Structure formats: C-alpha cells, structure tokens
Amino acid sequence: MMKLIIDIGNTRIKVAVVHNCDILHSKVYDSITEDDVRDVVARYPATAAIVSSTRGNSDMVCDMLRPYVAHVVNFSPATTPIPLGNDYHTPQTLGADRLAAAVGCAALYPEHDIMIVDFGTAITIDYVIDGRYRGGNISPGVTTRFHALADYTAKLPLCTATEVVLPYGRTTVEAIEQGVMRGVENEIRGYVEAFYVEKQKKCVIFTGGDAKYFVKRIKNAIFADCEPVIYGLATILEYDAEKL
C-alpha cells in the first residue's frame, strides 16, 4: 500500500510518500494547497493518507485529500487506534507528533525500552517502556531559548545554534551560544544517564532539526535519520487500514 503522510508541525508542513518501509518522496512546505496535494498524488498514486497536526488545521487538509485518496485518516491521539498502549492521562492534549514518534520508534526497536528526544521548537523527551507509551517532558527548544534571551533583555543579541564547543565564551555572543548549547546538553545528558541506569534493554533516539548538534556531544544516542514521526504515522495508517 502506498501511503501519503502529511505532518503539520509548529513551523512547517512535511509531506511524504511511504511504500513498505521506504520513503519514496519527502518535501517541506510553509503552507499547503490543493494543487500541492493533487501534484503529489499524480506522481505517487497513494491509496491511503494520514494527516497529523500540532496546530489544529488538519480538517481542512483532510478535505483537500478526499477527492484524490480513497482512505483518509485525521490522526488524533485521543481517538485514533494505534498499535501501542497509551498511559497518558490527557490524550486529548498530547501532541500528535510525540505519539507518532513513539509508535515509529517502537516499531523500529520492538525489543527495547526507548527514550525519544525531539529537538524542535520545543524539546520533548518521551518514553516507551514495556510496549506502552508512558509520557514524557517538554522544555523550550534551542531556537526558543535564543529568542527568549533576545526578546526579554534589553541588550543581548539574537544568536543561533553552533557546533563549536568552548569551555567558556570570551564574547557576549560566544557566552550566549555556549550557555544555551551547554544548557541543553547538560539537561539531556541528565535524562540519558538516568534512563540508562534504570533500564537494561534500552535505546535513546535523537530526532528533530537540532538533533545534529547534540549527537556528538552526548554519547550512546542513535541519530534517527529515519524520520520516526513519518514512520510512526505510516505505521498508524497501516494499522487503521487493517481494521477496515
């Protein structure tokens, strides 16, 4: 089954076409139109589609898809069946991307307990333990932290992520860069070390736009270039289609 995946994130929209475990097509949009949908389906005749959104406009995109795709799922963590137990107390408030990533990582590493760190606008830390989604934590992402310093102080400049590692900054820009990067590094390192102490058969997965900055800084983590959210949404779509 060829599957069309539309993942509407906080700042961008990712459209992918998945067949079996292979991503045949992937493109990022600032916004998406019916012409965009029609063009993708014309090139990749998907028979099923799933739409996931962290910002609430999934109904409109589903309506765009229905003239072109036979089976469309509007993914909701609260109501859509998934091949994974969910212990979250308020599934109606759970980010669709967090749950989809958990499903994807559980499918990729079925014999392990998993900690997933997504370095995006927010940093999310989520856990799959004993085949169930257990929940996780949320903190400001790298770019969000830089903007907070620039927006809520009178003189500090807006800086960006860096791969440079220094013991301390010798300019204000370096001090901000190293302060934010080291702060995130130490925060995530604490989670990783605690997880490895507690669990025996486990893996830590880094994903998201800023993950590349921390793979070298923090050992024992897998850099998920396999796009766990896309893979998870494809897994959920296939699970849903099997119930038809």
Which homologous superfamily does the CATH classification assign to the domain defined by 2-90+227-242? ATPase, nucleotide binding domain (3.30.420.40)
Could you tell me the CA-to-CA distances from 212 to 120, 179, 185 in Å, in that order?
11, 18, 12
User: How is the chain split into domains, by residue range?
Assistant: 2-90+227-242, 113-223
Query: Does this chain's domain 2-90+227-242 share its CATH topology with 113-223?
Result: yes
Residue 84 predicted with pLDDT over 90: yes
Please report the pLDDT score of residue 225 as a whole number: 66
Length of the chain equals 244
Give the whole-angstrom CA distance, residue 113 versus residue 55: 29
Please report the pLDDT score of residue 61 as a whole number: 93
Residue whose token pair is 């490895």? 196
Percentage of residues of the chain with pLDDT beyond 90? 82
Closest CA to 76 of 51, 102, 101: 51
The CATH code that applies to domain 113-223 is 3.30.420.40
Over residues 209-223, mean pLDDT: 88
97 is catalytic: yes
Over residues 130-136, mean pLDDT: 96
Instruction: Give residue 181's pLDDT band: very low, low, confident or very high (50, 70, 90).
Output: very high
Instruction: Point out the catalytic residue in the list 97, 118, 126, 240.
Output: 97
Residue 1 predicted with pLDDT over 90: no
Record the pTM. 0.90
Please report the pLDDT score of residue 226 as a whole number: 66
